[in-house]
C-alpha cells in the first residue's frame, strides 16, 4: 500500500512541534520558522528560518525526525541573515498610515535602550526612511568578503540603514517589476553586511503585492508589526495583509494604531479625528496585542521631514512614550 502523504505531513508537523524555541517558549512551527515542508517519497525537505543565535535548533530537528522509520533522509535548508538575531517586519494594508514613521521610531527607541539595530527600507514604492533619518543621496559601498561582494549599510544615529531608495536616482520612481524586483529584493536580504545586530527591522512596502510576498517568503522574519489608522476602512486593508502573513506562517506580534487622536494644546482633550476603535477591534479579532496608540503630533511630521525621530527628540511626549513602550515590550519578548 502507498503511504498517505497527508498523514506523513501531519506526522512530521507533530514532531516538529516538539522543538521549542527557548526564548519565545513556543514551538518552531507556531513561530513560522518552518516553511516549505515537502515530503517526496521517503525524503523530507524543509526550510528553516532562524536568527544567528538559533543554530542549535537545527540539531534538535534532525533528532526528532530521526524517530521516523520511513524517512531515509531529511534535507534542511537553513535561511538566516548572517549576524542578525531577530528580524521583524513592519507592515500596513495601505500607504500613508505611518508605517515608515513607526519603523524608524521603534528602531530609534530600541537603539536608545541599548540594542544593536538595523533598518532595511524595502518599501520599493516609497523608500523614504533615509530622509526620516536625515540622509540625502548617499553612495552605497560594496565590499569584498569571503562570502562574495556585499553592500555596506550606512550608519546614522547609531542605526545601520540600507534602503532601496539609495539605489535609485533621486525623484525618479522605482519601476522595478517581476524578476528584476525579485532579484533586487533577494539581494537586499542576502547581500548586506550588517555585522552583529540584535534587531533588523524591515519596512515592507504597503499591501500584498509581489514585493511583499517575496520579502516575507525569503526572509527569517520572526514576527510582524501591523500599522493601521483607526477608521474601519483602513482595517479591511489590514485584514488582507494578515491573510498573507498567515499563509506563510509568520506570526503577528501586535498592532500599532497611528493617528489615534489629536491632543488639544489648550485644554489637553483628545479628539479622535479618524474615528476610533479600529485598532482595538483588529487586536480582538486577531488575538494579538494592541502595542500602542500614537497620537497625531505635528512634531512627528516635522521630525520625519528633517531626520529627527520623535522617539529621540521628544521621548517623553505622548507619541515618544508609545514608541519607548513598544521597544520595551519587544525587548521583554525577545531577550
Ligand atoms: P507610510 O510609511 O505608511 O506610507 P509615513 O510613515 O511615510 O507613512 O507617514 C506619512 C506621513 O504622515 C509622513 O509625512 C509622516 O511624517 C506623517 N505622520 C505619520 N504619523 C503621524 C502622526 N502620528 N502625527 C503626525 N504626522 C504623522
How is 191-209 classified by DSSP, letter by letter? SB---SEEEEEEEPPSSSS
* CB-based pocket (< 6 A), ligand 1: 92, 95-101, 126, 128, 258-259, 294, 296-297, 300-301, 304
Reported confidence tier of residue 286, pLDDT bands at 50, 70, 90: confident
64, 79, 94 - which closes a domain? 79
For residues 56 and 114, membership in a common domain is answered with no
Arithmetic mean of pLDDT, 159-167: 88
Q: Of ligand 1's atoms, which has the minimum distance to the CA of residue 295?
A: 23
For residues 193 and 302, membership in a common domain is answered with yes
pLDDT of residue 325: 96
CATH assignment at residue 118 = 3.40.50.300
pLDDT of residue 307: 96
Mean pLDDT score of the chain: 91
For residues 177 and 320, membership in a common domain is answered with yes
Arithmetic mean of pLDDT, 81-93: 96
For residues 244 and 210, membership in a common domain is answered with yes
For residues 10 and 143, membership in a common domain is answered with no
Distance CA 82, CA 236 (A): 36
| pLDDT greater at residue 307 or residue 176 | 307
Q: Give per-residue pLDDT as tens, 118-159.
A: 999 998 888 899 999 999 878 889 999 998 899 999 999 999
Output phi, psi for 325, to 5 deg: -65, -40
58, 79, 100 - which closes a domain? 79
For residues 13 and 136, membership in a common domain is answered with no
pLDDT of residue 169: 67
Angle at 45 between CA 42 and CA 50, to 5 degrees: 150
CATH assignment at residue 28 = 3.30.300.130
Do the beta carbons of residue 120 and residue 254 sit within 8 Å?
no
Given a cut of 70, is residue 1 above it in pLDDT? Answer: no
Reported confidence tier of residue 175, pLDDT bands at 50, 70, 90: low
| pLDDT greater at residue 331 or residue 209 | 331
Nearest-CA residue for atom 27 of ligand 1: 301
For residues 188 and 44, membership in a common domain is answered with no
For residues 249 and 305, membership in a common domain is answered with yes
Q: Of ligand 1's atoms, which has the minimum distance to the CA of residue 297?
A: 24
Q: Of ligand 1's atoms, which has the minimum distance to the CA of residue 104?
A: 6
pLDDT of residue 171: 65
For residues 249 and 169, membership in a common domain is answered with yes
Arithmetic mean of pLDDT, 282-309: 94
79, 111, 136 - which closes a domain? 79
Q: Give per-residue pLDDT as tens, 35-66.
A: 999 999 999 999 999 999 999 999 999 999 99
For residues 146 and 290, membership in a common domain is answered with yes
Angle at 219 between CA 214 and CA 221, to 5 degrees: 115
Reported confidence tier of residue 176, pLDDT bands at 50, 70, 90: low
Arithmetic mean of pLDDT, 280-301: 93
pLDDT of residue 35: 93
Q: Which domain holds residue 63?
A: 5-79
For residues 51 and 101, membership in a common domain is answered with no
Distance CA 320, CA 317 (A): 5
Number of domains in the chain: 2
For residue 92, count CB atoms less than 10 angstroms from its CB and return exposed for 0-12, middle for 13-18, buried for 19 or more.
buried
For residues 142 and 48, membership in a common domain is answered with no
Amino acid at each position: 500500500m502507498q503511504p498517505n502523504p497527508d498523514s506523513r505531513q501531519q506526522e512530521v508537523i507533530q514532531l516538529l512541534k516538539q522543538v521549542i524555541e527557548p526564548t519565545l517558549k513556543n514551538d518552531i512551527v507556531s513561530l513560522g520558522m518552518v516553511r516549505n515542508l515537502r515530503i517526496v517519497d521517503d525524503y523530507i525537505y524543509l526550510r528553516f528560518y532562524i536568527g544567528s543565535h538559533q543554530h542549535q535548533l537545527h540539531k534538535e530537528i534532525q533528532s526528532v525526525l530521526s524517530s521516523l522509520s520511513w524517512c531515509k533522509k531529511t534535507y534542511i535548508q537553513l535561511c538566516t541573515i548572517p549576524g542578525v538575531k531577530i528580524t521583524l517586519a513592519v507592515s500596513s494594508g495601505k500607504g500613508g498610515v505611518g508605517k515608515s514613521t513607526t519603523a524608524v521610531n521603534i528602531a530609534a527607541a530600541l537603539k536608545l535602550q541599548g540594542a544593536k539595530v538595523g533598518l532595511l527600507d524595502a518599501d520599493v514604492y516609497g523608500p523614504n526612511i533615509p530622509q526620516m533619518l536625515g540622509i540625502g543621496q548617499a553612495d552605497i559601498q560594496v565590499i569584498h568578503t569571503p562570502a562574495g561582494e556585499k553592500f555596506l549599510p550606512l550608519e546614522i544615529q547609531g542605526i545601520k540603514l540600507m534602503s532601496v531608495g539609495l539605489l535609485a536616482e533621486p525623484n525618479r520612481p522605482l519601476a522595478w517589476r517581476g524578476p528584476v524586483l525579485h532579484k533586487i529584493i533577494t539581494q537586499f536580504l542576502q547581500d548586506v553586511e550588517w555585522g552583529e545586530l540584535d534587531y533588523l527591522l524591515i519596512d515592507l512596502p504597503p499591501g500584498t503585492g509581489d514585493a511583499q510576498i517575496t520579502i516575507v517568503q525569503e526572509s527569517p522574519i520572526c514576527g510582524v508589526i501591523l500599522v493601521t489608522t483607526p477608521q474601519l476602512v483602513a482595517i479591511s486593508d489590514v485584514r488582507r495583509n494578515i491573510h498573507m502573513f498567515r499563509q506563510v506562517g509568520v506570526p503577528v506580534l501586535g498592532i500599532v494604531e497611528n493617528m489615534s487622536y489629536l491632543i488639544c494644546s489648550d485644554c489637553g482633550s483628545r479628539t479622535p479625528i479618524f474615528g476610533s476603535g479600529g485598532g482595538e477591534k483588529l487586536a480582538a479579532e486577531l488575538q494579538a496585542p494592541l502595542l500602542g496608540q500614537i497620537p497625531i503630533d505635528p512634531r512627528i511630521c516635522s521630525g520625519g521631514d528633517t531626520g529627527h525621530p520623535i522617539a529621540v527628540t521628544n521621548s517623553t511626549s505622548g507619541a515618544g512614550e508609545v514608541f519607548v513602550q513598544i521597544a520595551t515590550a519587544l525587548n521583554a519578548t525577545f531577550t
